[in-house]
A and B are shown apart, each in its own frame.
Chain A
Amino acid sequence: MTAEKNPILFGRTAGLSEKVNNFCPGCLHGIAQRLVAESIDRLGLIGQTVGITPVGCAVIAYEFYSCDMVQAAHGRAPAVATGLKRARPENTIFTYQGDGDLASIGMAETIHAATRGENITVIFINNAIYGMTGGQLAPTSLPGQITQTSPYGRDVKVAGNPIRVCELLSSLDGVALAQRVTVNSPSNVRKAGKAIRKAFEYQNEGLGFTIVEILTTCPTNWGLAPNKALGWLEDNLIPYYPLGVYKDIKAGE
């Protein structure tokens, strides 16, 4: 074995730019974003990838990646991705969207891109709250969850019930992969990275719509310290949104 004095064991992936991100301390966006960037790097796709950022906390993520980037209107990323992919099918296209963007204002775009089997990859960040606007009720906020716009807790009789996106989309024929992961521990981070790489591989094989839902924390708007937020995710989010593969058209192979 060659003795190297200061071997680099871990560094910035080439999929990310030099820009320092703007996420709050303890927020898991940074890990999720890095996993996406690392995946396109490991698969050798940086030069052919176009990423689409949403409206929400990741809105300026077009500054954080080294591949070509597009910023989309609120909820419209899957439609923008459709236009990009139909214009240049040889490119790898991903969207990176939060729960309000994907499951509320953009639900029509999400479902129809999925059922068309649009050959794109959707990275869905579910932290059960609107982050950028200051902590309002999200389509995925849990029953009883206190937010700025559900100050007495989410009353499902008034505000309705949360949406389980992977379960919903898994019924659609156009979906090739629907998997829910989280990034609250090193082993879960590794599993999440694997799921994201699988989604990109499926896209490049032309298998259809792929979605990786990542459960994350929002310490700022949950009003919890980062470590407590990890515990809240474990105790509350995961039970309501179980981790796992909801659809994998290659699972039988």
Chain B
Amino acid sequence: MGEKILMKGNEALAEAAIRAGCRHFFGYPITPQSELAAYMAKYLPKAGGVYLQAESEVAAINMVYGASAAGVRVMTSSSSPGISLKGEGISYMIGADLPGLIVNINRGGPGLGSIQPSQADYWMATRATGHGDGQIIVLAPSTVQEMADYARLAFELGDRYRMPAMILADGLLGQMMEPVELPEPIDPKSLPAKDWAVTGTQGKRKNNKVNSLRLAAQDLEDAVLERYARYQTIKETEQLAQLELVDDAEVVVVAYGAASRIVRSAIMLAREEGIKVGMIRPITLWPFPTQAIQAACKTAKAFLTVELNTGQMVDDVRLAVTQGLPVSFFGHSGGVVPTPTEVLVAIKKALAGELFHILPFRSKLEAGD
């Protein structure tokens, strides 16, 4: 085992990306991802890499597009309003089958919103990061260790399936410090060559073209369907979720990222009272871990989704559950973080057979209404 060191989530992710062979970072300043870009600015040049502050989020993602087309591991990081701007470039990356890591340290929205922890970008990440008929891989860490671990996983999945991958975290995970064991570094030169990359023909092969344009409708449908087949493979083989105390659970809470940490505390409180409750923590938000949800349907009586938004992932939980089991929701939005006590109240309601969609009536919940 390697040595554990204390790091901020944003910095652990940055260091892990460098250790995953990433030597190119293009970004634009925004809170609360600043530590990530600052770390890259400091350490990428020392690793023989390039940190470049772009003139805009739009330019940054298009620099990622260019570097990815050249065949290198490349990334950008931003936060919600910045990810909106990157949507164009992400769509082009999907259309041109280019990998690349996009980090979203999610903040409250819409608009300029707040800079507090939020999961309000779940829909944007999993449904439509940009225009068109396509997907990206979305990973949701819940600890500083996972910020590091998933950085490498995102690069590996992106390269394997030739598509962008996103790490969807928030300011809580980005700025908190926890012990982390960093992965062993990979030499970028040891990574497999990408035969589709535009590296110059060197007079040795036919020219490569990186392109998302398919003017003929049938050509475009063929390209979209080829990608769709890839998505089906990913859905079948790459779902990841962490299960906690699910085996005997009558109520299964589904929560990812920072919300899952609060839910864990609530579950401990509930178990002390003898309530059989467990948690499914989706690690891959796309592909959504429907297999884990469906497996839990065999024993669970009810599901409760807890999110830092007004109810987004709950759609996917409802699509995944079988046998008509009730799926309730509890959440806070705007950067307000729920307390474990609030979640406990919601768990008890779900256990009592209620079907609900509760938004922050904090005072009522604490009163036990």
Q: Write the residues of chain A forming the contact surface with B, with a CB cutoff of 8 angstroms.
A: 17, 46-50, 52, 59-60, 62-63, 65-73, 76, 79-88, 90-92, 108-109, 111-112
A66 and B200 contact, CB distance less than 8 A: no
Chain B, residue nearest A111 (CB): B55
List, in ascending order, chain A residues with CB within 8 A of B56's CB.
Answer: 108
Of A60, A82, A90, A112, which one neighbours B66 at CB under 8 angstroms?
Answer: A82
Contacting pair B203 A73 (CB below 8 A): no
In the bound complex, residues from chain B placing their C-beta under 8 Å from that of A52 are 66
CA separation between A135 and B319, bound complex, in Å?
A: 48
Interface string of B49-64 (1 = CB under 8 A from A): 0101011101110111
Give, as a whole number of angstroms, the nearest-CB distance from A142 to chain B. 29
Cβ of A103 to closest chain B Cβ, rounded Å? 16
The answer to whether A87 touches B70, judged by C-beta atoms less than 8 angstroms apart, is yes
Question: Of B55, B62, B213, which one neighbours A83 at CB under 8 angstroms?
Answer: B62
Are A60 and B215 touching (Cβ within 8 A)? yes
Contact B211 A62 (CB under 8 A): yes
CB-CB < 8 A to A70: which residues of B? 66, 69, 198, 209-211
* Range for the number of chain B residues in contact with chain A: 35 or more
List, in ascending order, chain A residues with CB within 8 A of B70's CB: 50, 83-84, 87-88, 91
Task: Answer yes or no: B122 CB below 8 A from chain A CBs.
Answer: no
Residues A65 and B72 in contact, CB atoms below 8 Å apart:
no
**Nearest 5 Cβ contacts at the A-B interface:** A83-B66, A79-B62, A83-B67, A87-B70, A68-B198
Instruction: Please tell me if the beta carbons of A50 and B62 are within 8 angstroms of each other in the complex.
Output: no
**Which among B88-96, B112-120, B283-291, B310-318 touches the partner chain?**
B88-96
* Of the residues B24, B62, B200, B215, contact of A67 by C-beta under 8 Å: B200
- B208 contacts partner chain A, Cβ-Cβ < 8 Å: yes
Partner of A87, one of B74, B96, B201, B212: B74
Distance in Å: Cβ of A247 to nearest Cβ of chain B? 21
Q: What's the nearest-Cβ distance from chain B to residue A51, in Å? A: 9
Nearest CB of chain A from residue B88's CB, rounded to whole Å: 6
B71 within 8 A of A: yes
B333 to chain A, nearest CB (A): 32
Q: Find out whether the CB atom of B62 lies under 8 angstroms from the CB atom of A47.
A: no
Residues in chain A near residue B74, CB distance under 8 A: 83, 87
Query: Which residue of chain B has the shortest Cβ distance to A66 in the bound complex?
Result: B207
Sample (6) of A-B pairs whose CB atoms are under 8 Å apart: A65-B207, A69-B209, A72-B65, A83-B66, A88-B72, A90-B200
What is the bound-complex CA distance between A87 and B213, given in angstroms?
Answer: 24
User: How far is the CB of A118 from the nearest CB of chain B, in Å?
Assistant: 10
The answer for the CA separation of A89 and B58 in the assembled complex, in Å, is: 22
Least CB distance from B24 to A in Å reads: 6
- CB-CB under 8 A from B54, the residues of chain A are 79, 112
Contact in complex: A82, B52 (CB < 8 Å): yes
Return the contact of B209 from the options A49, A71, A85, A111 (Cβ within 8 A): A71
Known contacts A76-B89, A82-B52: A71-B215 contact under CB 8 Å: no
Does B199 belong to the interface (CB within 8 Å)?
A: yes
**Would A68 and B199 be within 8 Å (CB), given that A83-B70, A84-B67 are in contact?**
yes
A108: chain B residues within 8 A (beta carbon): 55-56, 58-59
- Given A66-B207, A88-B70, also A83-B63 (CB < 8 A): yes
* Contact residues in B for A72 (Cβ distance below 8 Å): 62, 65-66, 92
Interface string of B70-101 (1 = CB under 8 A from A): 11101000000000000011001000100000
A75 to chain B, nearest CB (A): 9
Are A80 and B69 touching (Cβ within 8 A)?
yes
Given A70-B198, A70-B209, 7 more pairs with CB closer than 8 A: A60-B215, A70-B210, A79-B65, A80-B69, A83-B68, A87-B67, A88-B200
Write the chain A residue with the least CB distance to B91.
Answer: A73
Q: Is the CB of A76 within 8 A of B199?
A: no
Choice from A63, A68, A88, A92 contacting B201 with Cβ under 8 Å: A68
Knowing A67-B201, A71-B212, the reply to whether A84 touches B62 (Cβ < 8 A) is no
CA distance A204 to B153 in the complex (A): 37
Asked if A80 contacts B65 (CB within 8 A), the reply is yes
Kindly state the separation between the CA atoms of A61 and B56 in the bound complex, as whole angstroms: 27
B65, B204, B215: which has the most chain A beta carbons within 10 Å? B65
Contacting A at CB under 8 A, from B15-66, are 24, 26, 50, 52, 54-56, 58-60, 62-66
Asked if residues B66 and A80 are in contact (CB atoms below 8 Å), the reply is: yes
The answer to whether B202 has its CB under 8 Å from any CB of chain A is: yes
Q: Does the CB pair B59–A48 fall under 8 Å?
A: no
Assembled-state Cα–Cα distance A76/B64 (Å): 11
A60, A68, A83, A111: the one within 8 Å of B207 (CB): A68
Distance (whole angstroms) from the CB of B217 to the closest CB of chain A: 16
- Partner of B69 from the list A65, A67, A73, A83 (CB cut-off 8 Å) is A83
Min CB–CB distance B87 → chain A (angstroms): 11
- CA of A92 to CA of B198, assembled, Å: 11
CB <8 Å contact, A83 and B24: yes
Closest CB-CB distance, B99 to chain A, in whole Å?
Answer: 13
Q: Which chain A residues lie closer than 8 Å to B24 at the CB level?
A: 83, 86-87
The residues of B that contact A88 with a CB separation of less than 8 Å are: 70, 72, 199-200
Output the least CB separation between A163 and chain B (Å): 18
Q: Is A46 a contact of B96 with CB atoms below 8 Å?
A: no
Interface centre among A69, A76, A90 (most CB of B within 10 A): A76
**Interface residue from A59, A69, A112 paired with B59 (Cβ < 8 Å):** A112
Q: In the docked arrangement, what's the CA distance between A88 and B188, Å?
A: 13
In Å, the complex CA distance between A46 and B202 comes to 8
